Structure 1
Amino acid sequence: MSGLVRVGVVALDPVLEVGAVGALRGSPDLEVVAPGGPAGVAVVVVDAVDERVLDLVRATRAAAHAPEVVLVATELAPADAVRAVVAGASGLLRRREADRPRLARAVLAAASGDCTAPPDLLAALLTHRAAPLADPAGGGLSDRERAVLRLVADGCETGEIAKRLCYSARTVTGVVHGITHRFRLRNRAHAVAYALRAGLL
């Protein structure tokens, strides 16, 4: 079982938890762990995104094993998506779209450091602007960083980004790591949300 991605489910409603566990157990690439067990990815299932849910995402990311978080919500507006990513979510799904294959893909993408979101939500996120944020480095993004982040925002994984931009996968990973380190961000999904909010993309 060592090659399987360990995944846990966190839900405020026991019925939602049972449904998510059932869907995840059907994937041959995943191992569902008991609540509170060490997992590489945690699926957080909620009805709506509010402060309590954002606190739950933050607390889940802050757990000892620091799992990546895939947030599955009944209602998920663009502003909610930005807030969830800033709180630490790596993947976003609406419950009606979270069938077994999509949920498994989102978990596997999060485990490999990629972020996922519904295509229409990504399109809305790309046009969403909030109040500008300060750039601690004072230099914004380079053309290369902007190109990589745009493809991350489009839902591309590391290998696909490397192929499209004619970079190595290591270079793409390094670019994303450099952005997250410089801006003190949690992950690549947070980097995309930050860049969008700051008007850097």
Structure 2
Amino acid sequence: MSTYNEKVPASVSAVVRAEDPVTRHGTEACLRATDRAILLPDSQSAHADVFLILAGEVTEEVMSWMEEAADKTSNPDMRIVLVADRISRPRLVRAVGYGLVSFLPRARTGFEEVLQSILRSQAGVAQMPGELVRSLIDELRTLQRDPSGATLPGGFEGREIDVLRLLADGLDNTEIAARLSYSERTIKNIISSVTRRLNLRNRTHAVAHALRSGAL
């Protein structure tokens, strides 16, 4: 630990997201009790140094939090610290792309370790269990062998096709969210992501592009 002492900042600003209010409020209370973390409200999340996420399994809802943080931040050094039970290999790769630097196993992590991970993330120090590092390397090797990864015709990804197929059937965001067991925010983020990435004008254009490319 002493190796990083001179690099670790005296304090960092952080925003907390959690699946339940008890976990979030408890974590925020702990952060307020230390002079090494500056807790920011959601309205100022774009300026945060660290986005701390606490979850069980990393679902698409949790991934949407990371994507939103990456999209909205005005801080080029924003980092994501994730405390969770588990994360799938494809989602781990996506999370790293959004700014994830540290993953802490929820069952074996106390608040002091969370605080140290938050501080070290701003010093350029990543923290991940060895099995996750190996999983990340394996996934990156797979992508190198097949750069298209899970991408389908037209440049779409699997979950995007699921959403576009239901859009083509005339369902709205609320109905799609219920059908796929996602939140409405996640559906909106998926549609926004695909239209932005593929330079499409709107959801109708996205459906048309998917039909023309053979993805639907």
Q: Distance in 1 between matches of 2:101 and 2:72?
A: 15
Secondary structure at 1:62 match in 2: helix
**Equivalent position to 1:49, from 55, 58, 63:** 58
Q: Distance in 1 between matches of 2:32 and 2:107?
A: 18
Structure 1 unaligned residues grouped into runs of 5+: 135-201
Q: Distance in 2 between matches of 1:123 and 1:28?
A: 35
2:26: which partner in 1?
19
Q: Distance in 2 between matches of 1:103 and 1:123?
A: 22
Shift of 1:6: 0.9
Q: Is the 8 A contact 1:72 1:95 kept in 2?
A: yes
Shift of 1:56: 1.3
Q: Is the 8 A contact 1:27 1:100 kept in 2?
A: no
**Equivalent position to 1:63, from 63, 69, 72:** 72
Seen in structure 2, the aligned counterparts of structure 1 residues 84 and 64 have a Cα distance that, compared at 3 Å, is closer
Shift of 1:40: 0.9
TM-score, normalising length: structure 2:
0.52
1:130: which partner in 2?
142
**1:91 and 2:102 aligned:** yes
Shift of 1:78: 4.2
Q: State the one-letter code of the partner of 2:61.
A: R
More helix by share: 2
Q: Note the aligned Cα RMSD (angstroms).
A: 2.6
1:194: which partner in 2?
none
1:90-109 equivalences under 5 Å are: 90-109=101-120
Q: Distance in 1 between matches of 2:85 and 2:26?
A: 13
1:5: which partner in 2?
12
Q: How many residues align?
A: 133
Q: Is the 8 A contact 2:11 2:119 kept in 1?
A: no
Shift of 1:26: 4.4
Secondary structure at 1:113 match in 2: coil
Q: State the one-letter code of the partner of 2:113.
A: R
Secondary structure at 2:72 match in 1: coil
Seen in structure 2, the aligned counterparts of structure 1 residues 6 and 96 have a Cα distance that, compared at 3 Å, is same
Shift of 1:107: 0.8
Higher-Rg structure is 2
Seen in structure 2, the aligned counterparts of structure 1 residues 88 and 99 have a Cα distance that, compared at 3 Å, is same
Q: Is the 8 A contact 2:85 2:105 kept in 1?
A: yes
Q: Is the 8 A contact 2:31 2:39 kept in 1?
A: yes
Seen in structure 2, the aligned counterparts of structure 1 residues 126 and 64 have a Cα distance that, compared at 3 Å, is closer
Q: State the one-letter code of the partner of 1:47.
A: G
Seen in structure 2, the aligned counterparts of structure 1 residues 6 and 33 have a Cα distance that, compared at 3 Å, is same
1:33-182 equivalences under 5 Å are: 33-37=40-44, 38-66=47-75, 67-128=78-139, 129-132=141-144, 134=147
Q: Is the 8 A contact 2:17 2:52 kept in 1?
A: yes
Secondary structure at 2:120 match in 1: helix
